[in-house]
Amino acid sequence: MLPAKLPDCQRCSIGALLPLSDYGRDGAPITYKAWVCTNPTCGFTLRIDNGEISYGKPPATR
């Protein structure tokens, strides 16, 4: 379930930050592991991996 209102992107002020979820090593769900700006020209991302926060890296695609 998404929040009632998505937060605005602080980088471009045009898009909203869309939350993405994933699964951990043991199959447990990780809610809101990453956030991606909905503005395709912005490309801002925020990601949490093993307790470390990184931003600016493009999301991986399959």
Indicate if the pLDDT at residue 22 is higher than 90.
Answer: no
- For range 3-11, the mean pLDDT: 87
**pLDDT band, residue 43 (cuts 50/70/90):** confident
Q: Which amino acid, residue 18?
A: L
Indicate if the pLDDT at residue 56 is higher than 80.
Answer: no
Q: Which amino acid, residue 61?
A: T
Backbone angles phi, psi at 13, to 5 degrees: 60, 10
Q: Give the start-end residues of each E strand in the chain.
A: 17-23, 29-37, 45-49, 52-55
Q: Which amino acid, residue 42?
A: C
Distance of CA 26 to the CA centre of its chain: 21
Whole-number mean pLDDT of the chain? 84
